[in-house]
A = this chain, B = another copy of it.
């Protein structure tokens, strides 16, 4: 059944698909009435329902299965948070402008396009060394910093494409959308560029909900925003996009083993490792257990989420042959990251990153700790006491008492109760300072370094603090939706007759209810059936218009309704209907009373169409079902 849907197959169907996307309003550019805004799309009823179904199944597959804590944090985010996370300084693309018209371009894109055009246009006339230089630049341009980009633009004489004018020097353009909150405080803020920060900021609250234990995961489904310089590719690069992210907090000592990973050690998944990329080879299937053993994937926790992601994508209707996991090159990853993989899906535009799975180490919790002075830590509890180097503070209590009188005791108690890491910090502080002022209950009390000694000592402890590491699977819902639509789209023998082979749980509407001809008695049955399906929360679409049944099927096929119920003469005598499946177009005869539960179970994936074929008598389609 599985068909290799390579770029060529998908490209061939693309025009027909785009017509359906427009005609049936699956999604369309936003604000078309007002001339449109690049990078903004509205989902119509079909697209919106698929999006809801993808998200709902994401909840079942990840949140319910892994007992994740789903939260809903805000989009509005004050500047200091994004300063700490690094986004204010580093969430940028290099921007160049037409020096006369001011039109802006993304520097890496304009360099790539210009050089690709030259190669295509000049062909064999291009000197071999020039062509080699061009190809090298195209390969590396997205890693260039300002200076290097400026140098290349000058050297290769890159100009504004529409006008041929000079380009301004490349400058970093921050991709966050700014706003101002409040009338008088005028707090600078941004629309969040990812949902992740909301989960880091709520770490301590969630840890408490989990009884202080790691591992646990937080999850969030919501919008992210990127003020793209050059949005394009439909849903692939938008300025406003739906994401689903998990932040899985683990003890760094324990992330290499993940108990539930055992059941996937024999699961084969196509990997494009760093090594394969260096050798210019294609992705190839690995048993996941081997991939971890051989050190291709850094740890079992990361590997487990790669498995779960793969299974999710397949379950919602992505063609497994068109999925691969590509490992980031060392220079692609953030410096703190120990490993990073993208789930890429092959679409008409090539391989597209749809899910990113990164080991972010302790970077984010550390960053917010540093910025706020609040510790974001968990405790590792031991079953038997463990020897640990601890720092001990020895105070000259007598002298302190003499100096500070009754405040002396307050100071002594306070300093002795400091947590280990703060004692450590204090010992380092006194290496360069003579005294330290503590503000205790509103009173400044000074401790002189002459009155303190520090001693390292091995002690048996029952727990120690640590900053958890984070494994982050981050899903781009719009990209996944685009992939599902491309992979599900099909044409029958007559290429005008198009249909989507959606997985029933993803299908925007679960079933259509049609009449074979217009007839008031049929309408009553249709109404009753509709009402009993709706009571079970099943979306359905009725069509009792006076057109040929074949035309009605074509309409429901076009938006991928997997099951069609048809009411005919026999319905009135035998209390049964025909049930048709979209891909096979086979029909069976089913007693009306059994229909609602049957559709419910088909929609939830509890039973399959083959089960239905085994249970009910096949119905021979008449000529009207052309």
Q: How large is the interface on A (under 10, 10 to 19, 20 to 34, 35 or more residues)?
A: 35 or more
Q: Is A30 an interface residue (CB 8 A)?
A: yes
| Nearest CB of chain B from residue A334's CB, rounded to whole Å | 22
Q: Is A137 an interface residue (CB 8 A)?
A: no
Given the known interface contacts A65-B534, A173-B183, the answer about A37 and B76 at a Cβ–Cβ threshold of 8 Å is: yes
Q: Is A91 an interface residue (CB 8 A)?
A: no
> Which residues of A369-387 are within 8 A (CB) of B?
371-372, 374
Q: Is A212 an interface residue (CB 8 A)?
A: no
Report the separation of the CA atoms of residues A30 and B34 in the bound assembly, to the nearest whole angstrom: 35
Q: Are A64 and B191 in contact (CB under 8 A)?
A: no
Please name all residues of chain B whose beta carbon is closer than 8 Å to the beta carbon of A59 when the two chains form the complex: 52
Chain A positions 81 through 100: 1 when the CB is less than 8 Å from some CB of chain B, otherwise 0: 10000000000000101000
Given the known interface contacts A28-B205, A42-B202, A44-B206, the answer about A181 and B177 at a Cβ–Cβ threshold of 8 Å is: yes
Please name all residues of chain B whose beta carbon is closer than 8 Å to the beta carbon of A242 when the two chains form the complex: 72
Q: Are A225 and B70 in contact (CB under 8 A)?
A: no
Report the separation of the CA atoms of residues A449 and B13 in the bound assembly, to the nearest whole angstrom: 52
| Nearest CB of chain B from residue A204's CB, rounded to whole Å | 8
Q: Is A454 an interface residue (CB 8 A)?
A: no
Q: Is A123 an interface residue (CB 8 A)?
A: no
Q: Is A337 an interface residue (CB 8 A)?
A: no
Q: Is A256 an interface residue (CB 8 A)?
A: no
Q: Are B183 and A240 in contact (CB under 8 A)?
A: no
Q: Are A239 and B173 in contact (CB under 8 A)?
A: no
Q: Is A75 an interface residue (CB 8 A)?
A: yes
> Which of B42, B48, B70, B372 makes the CB contact (< 8 A) with A34?
B372
Report the separation of the CA atoms of residues A48 and B55 in the bound assembly, to the nearest whole angstrom: 14
Q: Is A589 an interface residue (CB 8 A)?
A: no
Determine, out of A269-277, A325-333, A537-545, the stretch whose residues face the partner at the interface: A537-545
Q: Are A71 and B42 in contact (CB under 8 A)?
A: yes
Given the known interface contacts A76-B177, A180-B178, the answer about A70 and B42 at a Cβ–Cβ threshold of 8 Å is: no
Q: Are A202 and B104 in contact (CB under 8 A)?
A: no
| Nearest CB of chain B from residue A166's CB, rounded to whole Å | 16
Q: Are B44 and A239 in contact (CB under 8 A)?
A: no
Lowest 6 CB-CB distances: which A-B pairs, in order?
Answer: A104-B184, A43-B72, A104-B183, A45-B69, A42-B73, A60-B537
Pick 30 A–B contacts, CB within 8 A, sort by A.
Answer: A25-B205, A25-B209, A30-B198, A30-B201, A31-B201, A32-B201, A33-B374, A34-B81, A34-B201, A37-B76, A37-B187, A38-B182, A42-B72, A42-B74, A42-B202, A44-B71, A45-B70, A45-B71, A45-B209, A47-B72, A48-B70, A51-B72, A60-B534, A65-B534, A75-B75, A76-B177, A177-B181, A181-B227, A223-B223, A537-B604
